[in-house]
Amino acid sequence: MTDMSATNIVFLLFPGVTQLDFTAPAQALSRMPGAVVAGAASSLAPIATDSGFAIVPTHDFASAPQADILCVPGGHGVAEALGDAATIHFIARQAARAAWVTSVCTGAFLLGRAGLLAGKRATTHWAYTHLLPLVGAEHQPGRVVEDGQIVTSGGVTSGLDFALTLIARLKGAAVAQAIQLAIEYDPAPPFAGGHPDRAPDAVTTGLKQRVYDAAAARMEAALRGEGVIVLD
């Protein structure tokens, strides 16, 4: 029999979040039996995403329910969020009682700033994996990496893989497979180049030069500029 008990799933929202980091796993996890999804931010004001539109949180930090599953997405706004004490305290406070603590993409660095990745195996977007030791984590290649109750996933689309993996852990493979089928997650991309291991070198080099060299340097500066923030 399927377990129908309620599972509170709380997503952190912050300005500059990559919307698919949030919306992809939220779409899958919301279909899990008993799921109750919330999006928490510092206020109830609309959150500007990196895609030109905003997302409205369901809760502020004070009113957010205690998460059974805490999910921290990434985005170019992570560099600023790393220095926001209220955001880091919210993550640490929620993680202390959550059954699962998870991240998508560069959201891993927010977990790390909250002191949650020390000594853990983890992953993040390929352009930032070299920075994981700055938060005490050991990089393990993979779209989804589990280390105890901590589940991290790679860049952007990896959030769907993480969500389905966790659904299978909680509700069984048949439930996860049904959700995968319902959302028709059947990847057949037009190019076999979604990771530097498979993308043409010229494409990877060009993208790094245009976007990720500067973005990773900015992330590194943010990580080195502040100490780990934890609850008193």
CATH number at residue 194: 3.40.50.880
Which pLDDT does position 130 carry in this prediction? 98
Which pLDDT does position 229 carry in this prediction? 53
Whether residue 1 lies inside any domain: the answer is: no
Which pLDDT does position 2 carry in this prediction? 45
Whether residue 67 lies inside any domain: the answer is: yes
Q: Give the structural domain span for 135.
A: 7-225
Residue 109 has pLDDT above 80, yes or no: yes
Residue carrying structure tokens 């997650």: 185
pLDDT band at 232 (very low <50, low <70, confident <90, very high): low
Structure token digits, residue 159:
């959030």
8 Å CB contact between 16 and 75: yes
Whether residue 2 lies inside any domain: the answer is: no
Query: Looking at residues 121-130, what average pLDDT do you find?
Result: 98
Query: Looking at residues 72-92, what average pLDDT do you find?
Result: 97
CA 54/CA 213 separation, integer angstroms: 27
Residue 100 has pLDDT above 50, yes or no: yes
Of the candidates 23, 27, 130, the one whose C-alpha atom is nearest the C-alpha of residue 73 is: 23
Query: Looking at residues 84-99, what average pLDDT do you find?
Result: 98
Residue 226 has pLDDT above 70, yes or no: no
Q: How many structural domains is the chain composed of?
A: 1
The pLDDT tens digits for 165-177 are 999 999 999 999 9
Q: Establish whether 71 is a catalytic residue.
A: no
Q: What angle do CA 60, 74, 221 make, to 5 degrees?
A: 105
Which pLDDT does position 5 carry in this prediction? 80
Whether residue 232 lies inside any domain: the answer is: no
pLDDT band at 1 (very low <50, low <70, confident <90, very high): very low
8 Å CB contact between 56 and 87: no
For residue 208, give every residue at least 6 positions away whose Cβ sits within 8 Å of its Cβ, in sequence order, or none.
127
Whether residue 110 lies inside any domain: the answer is: yes
- Long-range contacts, 144-148 (Cβ 8 Å, 24+): 145/121, 147/120, 147/121, 147/122, 148/120
C-alpha dihedral (100, 12, 73, 141), degrees to nearest 10: -30
Whether residue 230 lies inside any domain: the answer is: no
For residue 23, give every residue at least 6 positions away whose Cβ sits within 8 Å of its Cβ, in sequence order, or none.
none
Residue 196 has pLDDT above 50, yes or no: yes
CA 39/CA 21 separation, integer angstroms: 13
Among residues 29, 91, 104, 105, which one is catalytic? 105
pTM: 0.94
Average pLDDT, the chain: 95
Residue 116 has pLDDT above 80, yes or no: yes
pLDDT band at 225 (very low <50, low <70, confident <90, very high): confident
Whether residue 177 lies inside any domain: the answer is: yes
Whether residue 231 lies inside any domain: the answer is: no
